[in-house]
Chains A and B, each alone.
Chain A
């Protein structure tokens, strides 16, 4: 047995690989199914960003809450939401995790601590503060994560939440997933100031920037700020600099990107490739381990798609339910 140079066991590393690969396979497959015209509505894909969701969620327990963004599939999978239920939801089917009433932009599973993808950019930040407030009030050591894109980091809700979390000393981590583009607009143009670390400092909280394509960098930085929050040390901001394999939404021609940009990042900045290389080079996991995992994931996503396709849509009886607990 080779010595393990990582802060995680072989089994944990395999689980992490499985989480990242499941997100990738899920998103690549949604891309294909969407282009066939079988998925209704808007879809925003997380492919390329897997190291962020997985690096953070590896530290969480089910009772910890996350408030996600419009690009929420990866957060769901990393938080343990059922992949088949998610696919069925995205296809608009009754067996979906939200009964076909939410879709990609509102995918959620509160039992898993996933408080919802959100169609309103920046809206999750106050909600995460609320989850953190509930945890703090109960004193159970739970924490909350607010995921936010670089675009939504300019929303008042986000900036107000930084202030609220700071003055209330809430156990919440604001994770800025900076993929360089607010829809089509460059972060360099749209976000004032030199860094998110400075922005955090302005609200009296620690800020850390990491390479969001490096799982181990995210894992380490997230571990530190999450531990601090659990111990009553209050909020932090973690910026993950990352990349987006697909456009803002499916159907985006991405003419705002440089020629060859996507090919280059897929070839050289793929977080899963770099994770695989690191763990196999160290001899902790083998290529066979990873391939065995891959084939299971492909089968799972295949089954998820075929079951979603065959499932029934909700019917007229479902239209009027679930508006109120009682009315």
Chain B
């Protein structure tokens, strides 16, 4: 039965249901319980945003606090995964990935290949991505293209509560390492979510709005902006097809190509920095595979090639807006 819950609650529910289903699923991270060894409540925090709140009471030793020691505990989660556990490790902010990236891209991502196919590393690394809360340059990046670049990793970035639950359950059951990117500005977004457990397969983009004029391809928080832009444009008689990629590796290019073959126009929207991004990747693949269908140049709407600024005026300018998407769509029509 469906009811309205938030993106944050959907993630909590997915973890709860998977920890109940499979005792090999363990959750760990900095403050995931949030109070271990402290004099107050045992689970005071449940993660810095409260996403894992309550899981300790239900699942006890299946959830662990870690020291502020990303290389050690992300590596330990990877080692445990290689020994048959199914760890979900929380990397609080994706920006911290720099301190433990070796364990992710040189270890987890490569075990299967380096060891001749004999290793499986079913780890999920949950991490907060994106701008919008004045968290500044070291707590607001997307970095989704970095992970998408690495063979051996899968990259997921849900845009709504329903997808967050289904994609997280799929990620936990998946036998490859998954980087599960949760947009921090979406945690309070509400939507209809089934109470029952369900999975959303990877590489299945979601077409959120049909349209024959222009294809808008995006993911994460930009999905809402793309829908807003499409709503504005519809009033001008321009019908946009809005595609939410949902997973970036693997990526569902088939749905994108099919849409572009119909519309002949493409706008790719990516909150990541523009160079070597999801925007450039999708654009290149469309240019290669559907060049003859294009009636106009491909437009990209991305963050600028700068770090994420702190103050509100600048951060608002940094984050791609619905207005920028509207302008880009109009450019493809001229």
Contacts and interface: CB of A to CB of B under 8 A. Distances in A.
Most buried by A among B107, B110, B152: B107
Most buried by B among A109, A160, A163: A160
A41 interface: no
Interface string B66-82: 11010111111111111
A322 B116 contact: yes
B107 to A, nearest CB: 6
Contacts of A110: 82, 115, 118-119
B106 A120 contact: yes
A324 B112 contact: yes
B176 A137 contact: no
A323 interface: yes
A284 B148 CA distance: 60
Contacts of B61: 137
A33 B117 CA distance: 27
Interface stretch (A125-133, A181-189, A240-248): A125-133
A99 B117 contact: yes
A229 B285 CA distance: 53
Interface in A87-139: 96-102, 106, 108-111, 115-116, 118-120, 123, 125-131, 133-135, 137
Contact of A326 (B26, B82, B175): B175
A259 interface: no
A168 B36 CA distance: 12
B291 interface: no
A126 B78 contact: yes
A84 interface: no
Contacts of A325: 112, 120, 174-176
Most buried by B among A119, A129, A135: A129
B79 A163 contact: no
Nearest to A126: B75
B175 A156 contact: no
B32 to A, nearest CB: 14
Contact of A98 (B69, B114, B154, B250): B114
B114 A131 contact: no
Interface string A288-326: 000000000000000000000000000000000111111
Contact of B117 (A106, A126, A156, A322): A322
Contacts of B75: 123, 125-127, 129-130, 157, 161
Contacts of B79: 65, 67, 115, 126-131, 133-134, 144
B78 A322 contact: no
B102 interface: yes
B77 A130 contact: yes
- The number of chain A residues touching the other chain, given as a range, is 35 or more
Interface in A24-54: none
B71 A126 contact: yes
Nearest to A127: B79
Given A106-B115, A123-B106, A160 B83 contact: no
Contacts of A67: 79
A126 B102 CA distance: 11
A106 B154 contact: no
Contact of A137 (B71, B85, B174): B85
B151 interface: yes
B115 A98 contact: yes
Contact of A164 (B76, B87, B102, B120): B76
A190 interface: no
Contacts of B114: 98, 101-102, 106, 108, 116
A98 B114 CA distance: 7
B111 interface: yes
A134 B119 CA distance: 16
A130 B81 contact: yes
A163 B69 contact: yes
A164 B176 contact: no
A326 B76 CA distance: 24
A321 B115 CA distance: 12
B107 A161 contact: no
B69 A130 contact: no
A167 interface: yes
B115 A164 contact: no
B144 interface: no
B84 interface: yes
A131 B83 contact: yes
Nearest to B203: A327
Nearest to B117: A322
Contacts of B263: none
Contact of B76 (A96, A115, A133, A327): A133
B106 A126 contact: no
Contacts of A123: 75, 102-103, 106-107
Contacts of B152: 323-324
A14 to B, nearest CB: 31
Nearest to A167: B67
A129 B76 contact: yes
Contacts of A156: 71
Given A125-B75, A130-B82, A324-B176, 18 more contacts: A98-B114, A99-B117, A102-B114, A106-B115, A108-B118, A115-B82, A116-B111, A116-B115, A126-B72, A126-B78, A127-B76, A130-B80, A135-B83, A157-B72, A161-B76, A168-B64, A325-B112, A326-B176
The 4 A-B pairs at the shortest CB distance, nearest first, are namely: A130-B79, A126-B75, A99-B116, A127-B79
Interface of B: 26, 61, 64, 66-67, 69, 71-85, 87, 102-103, 106-107, 110-120, 151-152, 154, 174-176, 250
16 contacts: A65-B83, A101-B114, A110-B82, A110-B118, A116-B115, A126-B76, A127-B75, A127-B76, A129-B75, A130-B75, A134-B83, A134-B84, A137-B80, A144-B79, A324-B112, A324-B176
